[in-house]
Structure 1
Amino acid sequence: MSDATPDELLFTVENGVATITINRPDKRNSFHDDMVRQWVAWLEECKTRDDVKVIVFTGTETSFSAGGDTSRFKGKSEQTPLQAKAGMVENTQSLARKVAEIDKPVIAAINGMAVGGGLDVALMCDVRLMASSARVAETYAKMGLIPGVGGAWFLPRIIGTAAALDMFWTSRWVAADEALSLGLVNRVFPDDTFRAEVKAYAEQIAEAAPLSVRFIKRMVYQGLNADLHSHLDTLSSHIALVRTSADHKEAVAAFKEKRKPSFTGN
């Protein structure tokens, strides 16, 4: 059970999109273990809710997230190595594992600065959208730490090894235009329309055939760790399922009738 206060982490569902918002602007939207437990619980709920097609992570005001709340680090430096490891596995790292379990799209809406663990949360998402004035940085080396939420796994896979090491070793700020050129983010939107653009983007995906969206995500990620023959074999099984689905039949009918399809996820 989480002890996070109800207003520290917000959860809403609208038009097929579940939005989880970090709401601690006075702490630059940093998070603590109780918030992570609540976060994981909501993601578990999103896995099974039929009305949730897409999940968005974002922050309030001018920050996405500064990562772990340093004011709560007191005492952690006195832990034994085994205690420190267990704490990471049970708390912060559980978020990365839960995101990896979900075959629905997960989008990071980087509305403002994202630093350290905050950036790592964005990296664990499938797609990253960024406000034009936002900046990101991996500041672990500056703080005498290492990325413990999966950043060293995600970042080189997204932007390449050399570019990832450059960010990690220098702790430098990366602005939105460079983040886009690196491939760190998928789209950059103006600050004044950012929320509306994110909403439109997420709802566009939510309107697509749910089985197709989920199987595409599954095949893309599984394909990264499979040889071509294994990938094609798995793909043929998934195609057999989607071709007989109600959503495929509805898509064909809607195309012939020149209307917008209405998908049920079956």
Structure 2
Amino acid sequence: MTSYRDILVRPLGGDERITEIVLNRPERKNAYTQQLCDELCHALRVFDRSAVTRVAVLTGAGDAFCSGGDVQHSEEIDQGDAHPFGHGFVMRDTGHTVVRSLLAVAKPVVAAINGAAVAGGLTFALACDLRIARQRARIGDTSGRLGLLPDEGGAWFFPRAMGLEAALRMSLLGEVYDAATAQRLGLVGEVVPDAEFDDAVRSLAGRLADAAPLAASVVKRLMRRAADMTLDQALDTLGMAVDVVNRSEDVVEGVDAFLSRRRPSFQGR
């Protein structure tokens, strides 16, 4: 198993089908650096290529999910200052790479928002497929408070999640919301009491791990791409996907399990 410095990677609750990836810089509220981003992208590639793992859970150590980019990491700031377009290059090689990696993963990824998820940290969560938050979590965009722009594609993700005016309000005013408000605005899908959070995350990830892996991967891809398609294009793409999935062993197992009134055991074939 690969050894990392700024993240932890382990089975969640001992279930080898579920990979927990923990951003592990609690002293900095899990703010990301080049090192953390490189490690996270590597861990996502390993997870996606594994024949055993089916679901990833992204979370943070301590009392934060992720507070965005580490503005005190002077080495990367110096790299940006050294070139007219240097800051854009640094972002391209750090947070932007993480967002692209999260979107490229074929398997489901859950953001378990255990605490503050702000600025680029919120963008990382929105690049995951599902988001579950504990009541104490605080979620929003603080980048404007520093005179910065919404990190790592926030200007793309935020309006899609919550609508244009709400996204502008959040970013222009630097607003941070409690978990219930964030759910109402569309930033998270589920909020659970603090004491029930770990169990709720395991339950959600376990249900995803029980699902048919091939169908889950195709559904994720279809829905991600549908936003940029016409209905006719989406239907044509679905027709081709169905022709592949319906021939799989998982569909045979799913139909037999339904007729036999038992739980299916999907193998991803």
- TM-score calculated relative to the size of structure 1: 0.94
2:21 aligned partner: 20
Match of 1:254 among 222, 232, 257: 257
Contact kept, 8 Å, 1:15 with 1:203, in 2: the verdict is no
AA partner of residue 71 (structure 2): T
- The within-5 A match list for 1:195-214 is 195-214=198-217
Report the CA distance between 1:18 and its aligned residue.
1.2
Question: Does 34-43 or 144-153 show the bigger shift?
Answer: 144-153
Match of 2:136 among 133, 136, 158: 133
- The within-5 A match list for 1:125-204 is 125-204=128-207
Closer, same or farther in 2 for the Cα pair 1:247/1:162, shift >3 Å?
same
In structure 2, the gaps of 5 or more residues are: none
- 1-side partners of 2:84 and 2:126: how far apart? 26
* Length, aligned pairs only: 263
Contact kept, 8 Å, 2:59 with 2:111, in 1: the verdict is yes
Match of 1:84 among 87, 92, 97: 87
In structure 1, the gaps of 5 or more residues are: none
- 1-side partners of 2:19 and 2:80: how far apart? 36
Report the CA distance between 1:80 and its aligned residue.
2.2
- 2-side partners of 1:92 and 1:184: how far apart? 19
Helix, strand or coil at the partner of 2:32: coil
2:223 aligned partner: 220
Report the CA distance between 1:195 and its aligned residue.
1.1
- TM-score calculated relative to the size of structure 2: 0.93
Instruction: Give the RMSD, CA atoms, in angstroms.
Output: 1.6
Contact kept, 8 Å, 2:182 with 2:188, in 1: the verdict is yes
Report the CA distance between 1:15 and its aligned residue.
4.1
Note if 1:62 corresponds to 2:63: yes
1:11 aligned partner: 9
1:31 aligned partner: 32
Helix, strand or coil at the partner of 1:18: strand
Report the CA distance between 1:155 and its aligned residue.
0.9
**Which segments of structure 1 move beyond 4 Å, counting only runs of 4 or more?**
none
- 2-side partners of 1:141 and 1:53: how far apart? 37
